[in-house]
Amino acid sequence: MPTSDMLSDIEIAQQARLRPIVDVAADLGLIPDELDPYGRYMAKLPLDIAQQKPRGKLVLVTAISPTPAGEGKSTVSVGLTQALQLLAGNAVLALREPSLGPVFGVKGGAAGGGYSQVLPMEEINLHFTGDFHAIASAHNLLSALIDNHLAQGNALGLDTRRILWPRTIDMNDRALRHAVIGLGGASHGVPREERWVIVPASEIMAIVSLASSYTDLQERLARIIVGTRVGAAREPVRAGDLGAAPAMSILLKHAMRPNLVQTLEGGPAIVHAGPFGNIATGCNSLVATRTALALGDIVVTEAGFGSDLGAEKFFDIVCRAGDLKPQAAVLVATVRSLKMQGGVAKTELDRENLSALELGLPHLTHHIANVRQFGVPVVVAVNRRATDTQAELDRVMSSCTEQGVPVALTDVFANGGKGGILLAREVVKLLEGGEADFRPLYDTARPIREKIEAIVQRVYGGDGVDFSPAAERSMAWLEANGMADTPVCMAKTQYSLTDDASRLGRPTGFRITVEDVTGSAGAGFVVARCGDIMTMPGLSKEPAATRMTMDVDGRVSGLS
């Protein structure tokens, strides 16, 4: 519950007294020789810990659909872990790494906020241990090998009109969405159209997030489809055909290993990988989660955006890939966001408005049902803000009680772990209530069309799906080329249950339009692109980058 006289996130982080990372690791039973330190407060963990038998119970943090009012999912994830560390002792946090694009754009960092952050905040939000740079390098190495192959005679018969592999950069740069490369004559390559995606949208990021070992990594890299051969059959050409996988895996050697850092209160946190939730899986890496499960008694992890995106993908893609069995879920909501879902403008959110809140509550109800249908018990975390009135808070709490859902107020932004004790107690109750009956939504053996329809109807609440002619052709091609039995990764706006960002609340009577379906053969899923979704964001009129400064001593301000 931030107040006007509260320090900024970066000021709180800079005043924190960090524990040496070897001491944090010792809490997990690790000795210094098992760490590769990056300075005093960050370290790479051994990859083989993830192969050990899991001992911990897994808790997923998700949320209602995001709004400009803010929900604080990452902050609640950190605060809950800190509270569990106070109550139960050996709790471990597993989070995604932030992307530089949002950090310098609109969203800001992804290390929590207030007194519920992961530290060192500046390093985590910026270059960290270089994982994103390694992923970008491996991705662009494959791009360079493709264009070199074209320039050297194109022995594989790649169709230059159907190169599927883009280039990548970890920055919001709309000018690179579509470009022409290879200009300047024969010595400069083969001219063709090209596009860039932001690093969290790279298939390499998805592969790093889901690979279980170095062997698995190299096999997945080799399966990447980079384009098709000339001819009516459009036979796929893969990274393995170009001999690219070994060199790419070498660049990713250290990036595959999870990173150990700490919460503001000194507890262990593992931060690794960072796919976006609206265009990718939206979860930290499988090896990070499995490492945490091997070392901790309770593991808190987070999935991007609302339950319709991150949570669905966590359950249907990540849990399948890693044989994970989540035992409980936390659904984060705020009074402000629910009022916005009920039609209130952002400028009016500080005023009590019970009628708008009532209109927004069906949105919360829908997200509760989303999680429950996967067989995972859920508790609602009402992330309290200073402007919330008691009447508004009481109405949200009573709505949850009416549905038989446990609910807890949280104040982790201002009070850290102590502000999350009520939530932590409810989570412990769920974990002690017996094994969850976790089950994915669909059978991967079903046709791609049916899997998409299942997600739209059962998770979004839509009436059905309309497929463009391009999507129809793509699904047929993918099913004919070995990608029929994979999960589906939906790419759609995070702001609405529909594919129209302006339709808030709990819409009914809508259909989803799938513009295209593409294959991520290395990651092991197909991507269904819905509506006007982009894989390369742009900067706003006043980017966050323009508000950041650094003094003569190297002290940073404006980073949040």
pLDDT per residue as tens digits for the range 153-205: 999 999 999 999 999 999 999 999 999 999 998 889 999 999 999 999 999 99
The residues near 87 (Cβ < 8 Å, ≥ 6 apart) are 421, 424, 425, 428
Q: How far apart are CA 455 and CA 75, in angstroms?
A: 28
- Helices 203-210 and 131-151, packing angle to 10 deg: 130
pLDDT of residue 560: 80
Strand partners, 268: 262
pLDDT of residue 106: 76
pLDDT of residue 3: 52
pLDDT of residue 486: 97
The residues near 458 (Cβ < 8 Å, ≥ 6 apart) are 373, 441
pLDDT of residue 434: 86
pLDDT of residue 51: 95
CB 141 within 8 A of CB 247: yes
Question: Residues, the chain, total?
Answer: 560
Q: How far apart are CA 190 and CA 340, in angstroms?
A: 50
pLDDT of residue 329: 98
pLDDT of residue 70: 85
Please give the radius of gyration of the chain, using alpha carbons only, rounded to the nearest integer.
23
Strand partners, 227: 163, 237
What proportions of the chain, in percent to the nearest 5, are helix, strand and coil? 40, 20, 40
Domains and CATH numbers, the chain: 9-127+255-432 (3.40.50.300), 131-251 (3.30.1510.10), 448-530 (3.10.410.10)
pLDDT of residue 232: 86
- Helices 390-402 and 354-372, packing angle to 10 deg: 30
pLDDT of residue 268: 98
Residue 264's Cβ-count burial label (10 Å; 0-12, 13-18, 19+) is buried
pLDDT of residue 4: 53
Q: In 299-378, which residue ranges form alpha helices assigned H by DSSP?
A: 312-313, 319-322, 335-341, 354-372
Q: How far apart are CA 240 and CA 378, in angstroms?
A: 43
pLDDT of residue 523: 97
User: For the chain, which ranges sit under pLDDT 50?
Assistant: 1
The pTM score is 0.95
pLDDT per residue as tens digits for the range 443-482: 999 999 999 999 999 999 999 999 999 999 999 999 999 9
